[in-house]
Structure 1
Amino acid sequence: MPTARVLLASELDERGFTQQEIANRLGVTQAAISNLVNENVAIEPRFSEDERMIATVERIAEGFDSGEMDEVDALAELLALIREFEDRGPICAIHEELMPELEGLGCDLCVRGTDSQVLAERDVLRSVRRAARLLTGTDAVTEYVPNVGTNIGMALPEAEGPTDLAAIPGRIYRIRGTVERAANPEFGASEHVAGTVLVAKEADDDLRAALNLATSDALLDAARDAGIDPLEFDAGYEGREEHLRERLAERESVPLVLYHRGEFGIEPVTYVLGETAVDAAELAIDLVESAMDGRDRES
């Protein structure tokens, strides 16, 4: 609110409002307005430089100037802005900074209410975050991150499309012998993983998560050793999901490992499925560690 007051007071001052008129609008003293206009009050750049804040301030100032908006209308505009800032916005970043124990947990934790849809989103995001931490904290995964990167996604219970699946924007990638994630999970962040998950979910509604790894014989052998019969499908992008759907229809149950051998311009990829993102990550870690152990024994 201090940042909003500074910006709004300055905007009204530029429009020719007297300090007393501004004070009446903002519900503070004329002396306080003097401090605001003269920038004697600290502002938070993560708020002041946000395009949504700038647009809201300009909208309120224009409303005051034209007489189309009163103080109640202005408060409603600011409350709407705060709700946006609370929804994985700059308020969350500041909250995390003030409470380091929240680092990496995202903003779905405490301010979005208890609506059932929100709770479902929260559970999905929590699972994807934890899964990403498991993957980036496992050395063996490094050997199985494809050149295009790894992603892990999980769908909402009633998912209908890619925007109903949370994944890692920018993917999980290999750099200098370690595995790093680009960002915290968001909905709509992966099309390829989403496509695989949604097709698998059609065949088995409990399977809502998947991640991609580089295909290798050692990895597939590790899956077979774990009692999983991997299913191979066409690598081509055109009609891939329909082909996968047809291949799954040939099985009595959906195997937790799906793979293709790649083709020109397409890297061989294996998908590991799970009921949750954590389930998929834990299975993937078991498989890559088993594959690495088997390779070491052979060498």
Structure 2
Amino acid sequence: MVEQTERDQVLLKLKEAADYFVSNPKSYLLIPEIRVNIVYALPDAKDEKDVAAIPGRITSAFSRAIYCMPPAFGASDHVARVVLTAMKYNKDRRSAIDIRYYDNIVKKLDDVYIFDRRQEPLESREKEGHTMNFMVDTAFRKKGQIPTYIVDLGDIGKEPTIFILGNDPLSVVKKSLELLSFI
């Protein structure tokens, strides 16, 4: 019963954050081609099934942000791995969002780690799904903490993005929307 209540709360808070994001008329400007996902993990999350996300992600249509399905557990791999790795170092960093990369935004960020995929060892790159883990592990090693922002510079066939990490989904959404002023 307690576990189900916790799961329900995670889903509710994630839906509120997603609704807040799409309610901003300019939020579509933050959506990369790979779309946006917001994730929120259970406090004792072990794998992607313990992380809630938006199935199909948040996308844009006609200059508007939209999503089609309510949050669900196990609906993210990519951003879920970012949060799961961050939680190894800071249990409170249970939420993240990935947004479009803009030079103007990156120049204004503090508490940021910039990740260049070309620096990732070949053996790590060749493991499917390992880059996100490597990126967050490296951010922690270099910064001594999990930063609020991790910038993935992308690579050939990999779109650059900005990850915003935080304790809950509404806080990461609010941080993302604050960045609209730099576009």
Q: Same fold (TM over 0.5)?
A: yes
DSSP-derived class of the 1:232 partner: strand
Over the matched positions of the two proteins, sequence identity in percent amounts to 27
Higher relative strand content: 2
Are 1:136 and 2:22 counterparts?
A: yes
- Structure 2 residue corresponding to 1:229, chosen from 102, 111, 118: 111
Q: Is the 8 A contact 1:234 1:244 kept in 2?
A: no
Asked if structure 1 preserves the Cα contact closer than 8 Å seen for 2:139 and 2:146, the reply is no
CA deviation string 1:91-116 (max 9, x = no partner):
xxxxxxxxxxxxxxxxxxxxxxxx11
- Which position in structure 2 is the counterpart of 1:263? 155
Q: What's the offset of the Cα at 1:221?
A: 2.6
Equivalent AA in structure 2 for residue 251 of structure 1: K
Name the residue aligned to 1:173: 59
From 80, 94, 110, the counterpart of 1:208 = 94
Matched, 1:248 2:140: yes
Provide the aligned C-alpha RMSD in A.
1.5
Instruction: Tell me: higher relative CO, structure 1 or 2? Use CA pairs within 8 A at least 6 residues apart.
Output: 2
In the alignment, the residues of structure 2 paired with residue 184 and residue 122 of structure 1 have an alpha-carbon distance, to the nearest angstrom, of: 12
Q: Give deviations 1:169-190, integer Å, cap 9, x for gaps.
A: 0100011110001210000000
C-alpha distance in 2 between matches for 1:211 and 1:261: 16
Q: Which amino acid aligns with 1:290?
A: S
1:140 Cα deviation from its structure 2 partner: 2.5
CA contact (8 A) 2:139 2:147 kept: no
Q: Which residue of 1 aligns with 2:121?
A: none
Match of 1:211, SS state, is strand
Equivalent residue for 2:182?
Answer: 291
Q: CA deviation at 1:229?
A: 2.5
Aligned equivalents of 1:130, 1:243: Cα separation in 2: 28
The answer for the alignment partner of 1:187 in structure 2 is 73
Structure 2: 5+ residue runs without aligned partners?
118-124
Work out which of the two has the higher radius of gyration on C-alpha atoms and give 1 or 2: 1
User: What TM-score do the two structures reach when normalised by structure 1?
Assistant: 0.55
TM-score, normalised by the number of residues in structure 2? 0.89
Q: Please tell me the residue identity of whatever aligns with 2:47.
A: G
Distance 1:237 1:124, change over 3 A: farther
Cα distance in 2 for residues equivalent to 1:277 and 1:214 = 17
The total of aligned residue pairs comes to 173
